[in-house]
Amino acid sequence: MGNTEDWQTQVATASGGRALPSWPRAAGAADAPAPTAAPEPEDPGPRAVQRPSSPGTITAAAATAPADGTITAAAAAAAGTAAAATGPAVAGAPPGPSGSAPRPARRRRAALVGVLTVAIALAAAAVVVTQLVQPESRQVAAGTKRPLTSSRSATRGAGSPGSTPAADPSTTTATTTPVPANVTPASGLYANGKMELQGDVPTALVHDQLVAKAAAVVGPGNVVDQLRVVPGAPPPTKAPVRIADSVLFDSGSAVIKPDFAHILDLGILLLKQNPKVTITVIGYTDNTGTPAANMALAAQRVDAVIAYQVQRGIDASRFVPEPRGAEAPVADNTTPDGRRLNRRIEFEINNLLD
């Protein structure tokens, strides 16, 4: 069995440092010298250096140590608690009870997190760029990429990569449709209350426009459409309308007969409804008499027709007088009926279908 004091020290340690009762000693026994703490063997490995929180601070273990150098159990326990609370302070020491890692490890971990963050950002940027480039690449491969706009082309230099060379105006030829032969200009003929459209037009659009204008004058049911759509035909700058019904006169007379007043009244209505329309009044005679006398008589007949319409509110400037005498007969002047048909006034309406 060991020394009684050693046993008491062990029991005191086990009981948390509480004082134990003294056991009786044998009579005449001398007090054994107090044991001294053996020098602590030197640790070859790294040691934690316990540093006071401030200069001159004395730890709890040092304050409770006896003056003779004996280390009690309470002092040892207090020293261990203070060391555990302070933690390792040198590089390479194992982590303390709180589980905190040394500073170099935290720095390495922070650096690794930063590298991973940059890598993720670069990968995301690469995905976005790929999504933007792929549709254009597919268009180029399929040959469906739209050409550059003029504004973008203008900002690129002539020798810059990807620039489209401008077309040389000297080598550019305009594509025109040749005018077909035997094209008849568009015109109209008014007879017996109906308007017949004749001649050639270049497109279906021009055709529809002429038909609509004629229908506005005589009504849709009174238009006889004989127009032909001929690609290359010149557009009608004029589409004159002739009046098939003529005003006839007696031989050597310029007096208007009541039987023909309705034709003149139709001209008045047409002029009032179409402010841009003018009427050419053409006067003829038969072949009896001299050419000079026939020309004078033709002019009198033209003046009589214009005066009739001016008296009914039409401005005289909207008429074009054109006496022609005995020329251009429409019937045989060797017969009385033929000469009657040649003594006439014809009308040509301008700007009605233009």
Residue 92 pLDDT exceeds 50: no
pLDDT value at residue 216: 83
User: 3-class SS at 156?
Assistant: coil
**CATH code of the domain occupying 182-236:** 3.30.1340
- Mean pLDDT of the chain, nearest integer: 72
Residue 58 pLDDT exceeds 50: no
Q: How much is the CA Rg of the chain, to the nearest whole Å?
A: 63
Domain range annotation of the chain: 182-236, 240-354
Q: What is the four-CA torsion angle of 296, 301, 303, 304, rounded to 10 degrees?
A: 140
Tokens of 75: 């002092």
pLDDT band, very low/low/confident/very high, at 41 (cuts 50, 70, 90):
low
- pLDDT, one tens digit per residue, over 168-200 is 544 445 455 566 778 888 989 988 888 899 999
Q: What's the average model confidence in pLDDT over 310-321?
A: 96
- The answer to whether the 182-236 and 240-354 domains have the same CATH topology is no
Q: Between these two residues, 328 and 134, which has the higher pLDDT value?
A: 328
Task: Go through the chain and tell me how many residues it has.
Answer: 354
Residue 295 pLDDT exceeds 50: yes
Q: What's the average model confidence in pLDDT over 148-177?
A: 49
Residue 46 pLDDT exceeds 80: no
Q: What's the average model confidence in pLDDT over 9-28?
A: 50
Q: How many Å apart are CA 89 and CA 325, to the nearest integer? A: 135
User: 3-class SS at 336?
Assistant: helix
- pLDDT, one tens digit per residue, over 215-263 is 887 888 999 999 999 999 988 877 788 888 889 999 999 999 999 998 8
Q: What's the average model confidence in pLDDT over 48-61?
A: 45
Which residues of the chain form beta strands (DSSP E)? 187-191, 194-198, 200-201, 223-225, 228-229, 241-248, 278-284, 319-325, 344-350
pLDDT value at residue 54: 45
pLDDT value at residue 113: 80
Residue 144 pLDDT exceeds 80: no
**CATH code of the domain occupying 240-354:** 3.30.1330.60
Q: How many Å apart are CA 4 and CA 26, to the nearest integer? A: 12
Q: What's the average model confidence in pLDDT over 262-282?
A: 90
pLDDT value at residue 190: 84
pLDDT band, very low/low/confident/very high, at 150 (cuts 50, 70, 90):
very low
Q: Between these two residues, 300 and 135, which has the higher pLDDT value?
A: 300
Residue 88 pLDDT exceeds 70: no
Which residues of 153-302 form beta strands (DSSP E)? 187-191, 194-198, 200-201, 223-225, 228-229, 241-248, 278-284
Kindly report the number of other CB atoms within 10 A of residue 125's CB atom: 10
- Kindly report whether the global pTM for this prediction surpasses the value 0.85: no
Q: How many Å apart are CA 304 and CA 215, to the nearest integer? A: 30
Residue 335 pLDDT exceeds 50: yes
pLDDT band, very low/low/confident/very high, at 302 (cuts 50, 70, 90):
very high
